[in-house]
Chains A and B, each alone.
Chain A
Amino acid sequence: MSSELLFEFVYFIPEIVLAFWGLLVILLDVALLRGRPSETRGKILGMVSLVGAILALVSVFVPDMLSFGSATGAPETSIFFGAIFQGPVVERFSAFIIILLMFVIALSTTWNFTEHWGEYFGLLFWTAVGMIMLIAAEELVTLFLTLELMTISLYIITAFEKDLNRSSEGALKYFVYGSVSSALFLFGLSLLYGLAGTTRLSAIGAVLEPQQSVAGLGRNIAGAMSVLLILVGFGFKISAVPFHQWAPDAYEGAPAPVSAWLATGSKLASMIALTKVLIQALGAWASGDGNLASPGWVGILAVIAALTMTYGNFAALAQKNLKRMLAYSSIAHAGYMLVGVMAVAVAAGSRVAAGPILFYLVVYSVANIGAFAVAAWLFRDKKTDEIEDLNGLFAQYPFLAVCTLLLMLSLIGIPGVAGFWGKFFMFSEALTQGEDKHRLTFLWLVGLGLMNSVISAFYYVRVLRAMFLRPSTGAPLKPPTFAIRVAVIGSALVVIIFGLYPTPLTDETDRLADSRIFDSRLKHTGPAPKVALNGGLQPVASPVGK
């Protein structure tokens, strides 16, 4: 038993490296670098942090290198007594999150926005630990703790630009909305614990399914309340309307690298966790007799998705600040992705239905890292990040302007860049999955999504208009740092390569989606659930009650 446990720690090395590197960076800051000006401390600690992230990235692949499992990656297992899931999807997305973390670290050294560099990088590492484990969590206690580790650390680093009112203000709003929503989430979780009697996701799925005498959530108000409250919690994390109010403030207030981290890592991990919980644990409550309007969470999700994409896009139209506009755009993207989650829920027997969401998440995150790198560049030189500040960028830095153009086109979803394929695969998945009776709802949603993509073109084009058509105003931008250059050019390259030739990435995401965490037991006719019917807590009826 104990040697087995040691063996399992091999899968856990990236998290250990990240957590310890956070402590190391703080110790370095207070011990060796004490008294140095904060600018040099930031630069040195940034370098040290990058080394740590690279180490963690390498250690993700240690299990592969030790060649446990097959050539296609580690086999899917539950480790640490079922607390954590281990499989290709976790491994690859851990690696992806660490790569995003490297970009965030590199962008953080752009300008000197805090005196507390050690704490800043330490907290960045710990958010990454939270995100990786959130993707891996297979049990509600772990899931809730990692969710909180991620968000609590994010509240703190949002407030790190202490010289600006907007930073602490955005953080306070993020904190108030965030802690209220996690309290609601927890109450929903407690009801779910009472209904299912266990906290393991797969066991919940197995317990709920045979209990269905009425399909979906019909005649099950306690269950419906629990699902609603859990959706409030996740809706906040992925900034879905009506739980989005914090997002524009936090994104605008936070230093640009932190905004990038909020928009990419946090959203990516929460979206995967949402899909996992809904599909794997609550699959039995997806919808009533298969009709989307019948009681079940798919119907709720449809309403939230429609509201989210519409509100996000219309609100973005009115924005003048680049970061705030990107915040609303990220709200809208959450709406598109929720359509993908619905498609997974109705997909009969097909595990790979989650592939398009994973593809979309990767492409969306890459484009956003580049876009926020531009915002960081603006703020370094102009101390503001309005869209107007981009005026005349093409005249000064034609190559970077063209790269930004590609990123914006990808966010709109223009053919030829990767964002188009993201939307295309997800919407076509939504239209082809499920039975005929679903088709009409999905047609409506996809139609709304396409209309919204057209609307979104207007505000992204405003960025392009500023860069290409307007004469330069104010002080010219100084040459970007190496990190900004790499982030913008690199993400543009990714976007154009997968835009022209998406097959390698779609093959990979389809392979990763073929995992049991995206598998609703209801639709799956495999071996019988491992957990016996009497698994979980069994409320005992008193003889009097009978």
Chain B
Amino acid sequence: MHDIPLTWFLIFASACFVIGLLGVLVRRNAIAVLMAIEIMLNAANINIIAFWRYSVPGPEESPVSGPMLAIFVITIAAAEVAVGIGLILLCYRRRASADVDQYDSLSG
């Protein structure tokens, strides 16, 4: 039975990351952008866990440095989504639109 090469995980993560970036570039709805950002954060987490599992921690390193980083990323993502939805609701109440492009009264 062959193990999965490390690069497979990395390429999968890169693909997800790039798809998320595509979403950020092409979507105009703020909630859709938020979802695309979540995809990018997950991609980074896959990278981190793959690197962690495919290597041996050095003598001074924490044995769970990768999972720890991933857990904090998940925490940050949750906080970011909560704040983001709050902001989007605030804007929506004032403008009746969740479309990023329509917020253009500030420009220059």
Give A contacts to B, CB under 8 Å.
140-141, 144-145, 148, 152, 155-156, 159, 162, 165-166, 168-173, 175-176, 179-180, 182-184, 186-187, 189-191, 193-194, 197-199, 203, 248-249, 252-253, 315, 318-319, 324, 531-532, 534-540, 542
Contacts and interface: CB of A to CB of B under 8 A. Distances in A.
Interface string B27-67: 00010011001001101110110111011111111000110
B68 interface: yes
A148 B80 contact: yes
Given A190-B45, A190-B47, A537-B52, 4 more contacts: A172-B91, A179-B34, A324-B108, A537-B66
Contacts, number: 155
12 contacts: A156-B87, A166-B105, A168-B87, A169-B106, A173-B106, A186-B41, A190-B45, A190-B51, A197-B51, A535-B59, A536-B61, A537-B66
Contact of B69 (A173, A175, A199): A199
B12 interface: no
Contact of A190 (B6, B48, B91): B48
A144 B69 CA distance: 10
B15 interface: no
Contacts of A141: 68-69, 72
B90 A534 contact: no
Contacts of B72: 141, 144-145
A351 to B, nearest CB: 24
A361 B58 CA distance: 38
Nearest to B16: A187
B42 to A, nearest CB: 10
A126 to B, nearest CB: 12
B44 A175 contact: no
A interface, by DSSP: helix, strand, loop or mixed? helix
A183 B40 contact: yes
Contacts of A194: 10, 47-48, 50-51
B76 A145 contact: yes
Contact of A148 (B6, B47, B79): B79
Contact of B90 (A166, A168, A540): A168
Nearest to A537: B55
Contacts of A539: 6, 51, 54-55
Contacts of A199: 65, 69
Q: SS class of chain B's interface: helix, strand, loop or mixed? A: helix
Contacts of B107: 249
> 3 tightest CB-CB pairs across the interface, nearest first?
A537-B55, A183-B40, A190-B47
A540 B61 contact: no
Interface of B: 3, 6, 10, 13, 17, 20-21, 24, 30, 33-34, 37, 40-41, 43-45, 47-48, 50-52, 54-61, 65-66, 68-69, 72-73, 76, 79-80, 83-84, 86-88, 90-91, 94-95, 100, 103, 105-108
A535 B60 contact: yes
Contacts of B83: 152, 155-156, 175
Which of A169, A170, A203 is most buried by chain B, counting CB atoms within 10 A of its CB? A169
Contact of A165 (B34, B94, B100): B94
A252 B108 CA distance: 11
A210 B101 CA distance: 48
B43 A175 contact: no
A179 B37 contact: yes
B44 A189 contact: yes
A173 B100 CA distance: 8
Nearest to A171: B87
Contacts of B40: 180, 183-184, 186-187
Contact of A168 (B47, B54, B91): B91
B49 to A, nearest CB: 9
B103 A169 contact: yes
Contacts of B30: 172, 176
B58 A180 contact: no
Contacts of A187: 17, 40, 43-44, 47
A162 B90 contact: yes
A319 B108 contact: yes
A220 to B, nearest CB: 15
Contact of A535 (B6, B10, B61): B61
A184 B44 CA distance: 9
Contacts of A198: 58, 61, 65
Centre residue among A144, A168, A324, A542 by max chain B CB count within 10 A? A168
A175 B24 CA distance: 13
Contact of A537 (B3, B65, B108): B65
B17 A252 contact: no
Nearest to A531: B60
Instruction: Report which residue of A180, A182, A183 has the largest number of chain B beta carbons within 10 angstroms of its beta carbon.
Output: A183
B55 A538 contact: yes
A345 to B, nearest CB: 27
Contacts of B95: 165
A469 to B, nearest CB: 25
B100 to A, nearest CB: 6
